[in-house]
A and B are shown apart, each in its own frame.
Chain A
Amino acid sequence: MNSIQPFPSPLTTPTGTRASRGLGLVVFLGMVLLTMLGLFFTDEDVVQGSTVRLMYIHVPTAWVAYLAFIVTAVASAMYMWGKQHSLTFDRIAGASAEVGVIFMGLSLVTGSLWGRLTWGTYWQWDPRLTTTVFLFVTYVGYLAVRDLGGSHQQRAKRSGVVALLAVLEIPLVHFSVVLWRSLHQEASILQPNGNVTMDGLMLFTLLFGVAVFTLLFAWMVLHRQRVLTLADAIDDGGLETALQERRNEVN
């Protein structure tokens, strides 16, 4: 494993282990199967027609996005209240937020594509959508806070506090948006119709998608967290090297 290959394939990574490769393979095969099921094997919905095929990818991405932020919040709490203030929890929080931002963006894109087909509009000021955007922006801010510099512990504390504040903020945002919308009912633009009567295979495909994307999330966070560990070690090593050079200069 340690031999330096002249032209490493873009799919090799030093963060891989036997277990993570196994998981990666399962995720890959699952994705292929999900795509086949979603695009070809399932029937069209009675109401939604073929647009229901977007659900098989939209619902899992949205689910992973929310899951990612829950993981970030929990990992931040475990860092803050853990006895050793372990940086591992901090890196898990960071990795999960990065993956979460990606999936939140994707769920907004796939959601608006789906909305265009079923509602006739890319965007609606629906409380859930609006809160999702706030969640997205809040966690972009969280990632920026992680980038502020300083020691690793400092980064962990700061971003931990910001993540926990976000847990307070988001319900308030959601609640106020719900109140806001309930006052200003506009002439209903095509009723948002999420209720789909699903036959067995459709329901299976949806649940299967959620499961596969959850495994994908776990796999991505696992690797990302290890890369962040390497990056932190580089920072520490860089400091050591700089100090060593400085000492050599003086002598």
Chain B
Amino acid sequence: MTQHPISTMSVARAIATKDLRIEWRSKVLVNQVLPFAGIVMVLFAFALDNDGILQRVAPGLVWLAVLFSSLIIVQRTFAIESADNALDAIKVAGVSSAGVFLGKAVALVVQLLLFECVLVLLSLVLYQVHLSWGGAVLLVTVSFLANIGIAAMGALYGGLGAAAKGRETLLPLLLLPAVAPVLIAATRATESAFGVSGATLGEGWPWVALLAVFGALFTFGGTLAFGVLTEE
């Protein structure tokens, strides 16, 4: 690793606050992407009809909606960079790419958390699932750890797509298979949190370990790989 004038952590902080500030001011996420996630939840209900089925599959639907939204959020995170070739400018400035990666990932974690709050609330209302206090604690833990995994993979493959301009269609093909373990683990844990499909709260916690391993592994891998993937 070459020595950079600015520390990795301060780069990460700067990138993350910049990204979140842009999203906060532009309101695109809240005005366009969040309603999209909401309509997906409604469409799931149309497709699956009601009568108990929805309640049972609610955890999976929430996480599918999160994954679909994550594709859009990741693409947006890198679209705001490539609009003015800002990613190139950052690279030319010689800041650490690990810092850029971590900053992007942190901003993604925060945005995904917002989505999960809304989607879980929607599922409580639309799919009539029940959430206990213990379940809520589990759900928050699961969401946070799942987001780290999704954000790390998203930042990595999103960066790859952005570096090769005009090939953003590649993102779903690379990202969705890679985050399948997150979908499985988060869905099972959320089943426990919602108490559906006969799952008890205690069964949910082992999945947390899988999510933690996934998140840690790819955060580490991402800091190493991001520089190479986005290189010109």
Contacts and interface: CB of A to CB of B under 8 A. Distances in A.
Judge A-B direct contact (beta carbons within 8 Å): yes
A180 interface: yes
Given A145-B170, A154-B231, A180-B184, A137 B217 contact: no
A157 B178 contact: no
B185 interface: yes
A141 B229 contact: no
Interface residues of B, number: 26
Interface string A132-160: 00100110110011001110001001101
Nearest to A137: B177
Interface residues of A, number: 28
Given A145-B160, A183-B188, A173 B221 contact: no
B127 interface: no
Interface in A160-208: 160-162, 164-165, 168-169, 172-173, 175-177, 179-180, 183
A14 B210 CA distance: 51
A172 B228 contact: no
B200 to A, nearest CB: 12
Chain B, interface SS category: helix
Given A140-B173, A176-B181, A179-B184, A148 B167 contact: yes
Contacts, number: 74
Contact of B188 (A158, A168, A180): A180
Interface in B176-232: 177-178, 180-181, 184-185, 188, 207, 210, 213-214, 217-218, 221, 225, 228-229, 231-232
Interface of A: 134, 137-138, 140-141, 144-145, 148-150, 154, 157-158, 160-162, 164-165, 168-169, 172-173, 175-177, 179-180, 183
Given A161-B229, A162-B160, A179-B188, 14 more contacts: A149-B164, A154-B231, A157-B228, A160-B228, A165-B156, A165-B225, A168-B221, A169-B178, A172-B213, A172-B217, A173-B177, A173-B180, A173-B181, A175-B210
